[in-house]
């Protein structure tokens, strides 16, 4: 895995302790033969941008994340390269048809989180305009954490012959992790871009990317992913 960035917002002492815990755990894993294999990049990638909508990217909402400006700048570097190579791009957001009462499509999540804020039609759930979504780029309005669960994402990606999913967005502890797990479960190679993943609480990016890299997908630095996209053959030849 790429060198761990440190959890911002926690003291140096806590940060150090967390790093020592990951070192201890990595050592145990390596003694068992884990952390030695990579899934690797495939032949035809798609980029998935998870929940970089205003509810998460603008300040003042319960769902606002940390470090979003830098995150969006990083995702935009990736998108520029992907679009230049005609790599499909999929955005996600969350939104509900019925936000109150017994027929709410928020399901059981509304018993856990303030999901009533995600009203279909509200600008709060629009993709952050800094990402400049294009008309031929899918927008999946999901109801659950995973971009795959209860959506047409896996069927869509298979129908256009995608085998690799490059994952970016927020949050590490919620939608990003659940999407990554579903990606490998559905048979797609998950590549999680270290500098393109955020959260709202200190430590959550770190411990979730640790688990993901050990079990569910390859966590890679953005430069490596940019290099992979750069080296891709033209769309028709891959």
Question: Which residue, 164 or 168, is less far from a second copy as judged by CB?
Answer: 164
- Of residues 138 through 177, those in contact with a second copy by CB under 8 A are 138-139, 143-146, 149-161, 163, 173-174, 177
Q: How far is the CB of 40 from a second copy (least distance, A)?
A: 7
* Listed ranges 50-58, 70-78, 132-140, 219-227: which one lies at the site for a second copy (CB under 8 A): 132-140
Which one is catalytic: 52, 89, 175, 222? 175
1, 209 in Cβ contact below 8 A? yes
- Residue 175, sorted as left (phi over 0), alpha (psi -120 to 50) or beta, turns out to be alpha
Residue 73: both structure tokens together: 């700048």
- Of residues 82 through 111, those in contact with a second copy by CB under 8 A are 86, 88, 97-98, 101-103, 105, 107-109, 111
Q: Are strands 45-50 and 164-170 parallel, antiparallel or unpaired?
A: parallel
Question: Which residue, 149 or 224, is less far from a second copy as judged by CB?
Answer: 149
Give the long-range contacts of residues 148-155, CB within 8 A, separation 24 or more. Answer: 148/179, 148/182, 148/183, 148/186, 149/178, 149/182, 153/48, 153/90, 154/182, 154/186, 154/188
114 lies in the binding site for a second copy (CB under 8 A) = yes
DSSP string covering 37-98, please? ------SSEEEEEES-BHHHHSTTSTT--SSHHHHHHHHHHHHHHHHHTT--EEEEEE-BS-
Q: How many residues bind a second copy (CB under 8 A)?
A: 86
124 lies in the binding site for a second copy (CB under 8 A) = no
Q: How far is the CB of 132 from a second copy (least distance, A)?
A: 16
Cα(92)–Cα(157) distance, rounded to whole angstroms?
A: 14
Question: Which residue, 62 or 233, is less far from a second copy as judged by CB?
Answer: 62
Q: Which residues contact 207 (CB under 8 A, 6 or more apart)?
A: 18
Question: Which residue, 73 or 116, is less far from a second copy as judged by CB?
Answer: 116
- Of residues 12 through 71, those in contact with a second copy by CB under 8 A are 13-14, 16-18, 20-21, 24-25, 28-29, 32-34, 37-40, 43, 62-63
123 lies in the binding site for a second copy (CB under 8 A) = no
Whether 175 sits among the annotated catalytic residues: the reply is: yes
Of 126, 186, 224, 238, the one binding a second copy by CB under 8 A? 186
- Tokens 């890299």, residue located: 213
State the catalytic residues. 175
């Amino acid at each position: 895995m790429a060198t761990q960035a440190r959890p911002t917002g926690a003291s140096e002492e806590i940060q150090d302790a967390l790093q020592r815990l990951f070192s201890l755990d990595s050592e145990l894993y390596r003694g068992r033969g884990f952390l030695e294999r990579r899934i690797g990049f495939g032949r035809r990638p798609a980029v998935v941008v998870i929940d970089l909508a205003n509810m998460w990217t603008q300040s003042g909402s319960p769902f606002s994340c940390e470090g979003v400006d830098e995150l969006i700048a990083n995702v935009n570097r990736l998108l520029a390269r992907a679009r230049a190579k005609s790599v499909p791009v999929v955005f996600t957001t969350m939104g509900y048809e019925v936000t109150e009462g017994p027929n709410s499509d928020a399901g059981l999540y509304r018993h856990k989180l303030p999901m009533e804020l995600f009203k279909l039609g509200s600008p709060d759930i629009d993709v952050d305009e800094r990402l400049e979504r294009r008309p031929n780029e899918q927008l999946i309005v999901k109801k659950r954490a995973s971009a795959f669960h209860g959506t047409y994402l896996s069927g869509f990606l298979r129908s256009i012959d995608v085998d690799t999913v490059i994952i970016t967005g927020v949050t590490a502890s919620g939608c990003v992790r659940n999407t990554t797990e579903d990606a490998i479960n559905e048979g797609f190679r998950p590549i999680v871009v270290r500098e393109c993943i955020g959260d709202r609480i200190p430590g959550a990016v770190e411990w979730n990317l640790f688990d993901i890299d050990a079990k569910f997908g390859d966590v890679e630095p953005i430069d490596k992913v940019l290099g992979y996209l750069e080296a891709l053959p033209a769309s028709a030849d891959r």
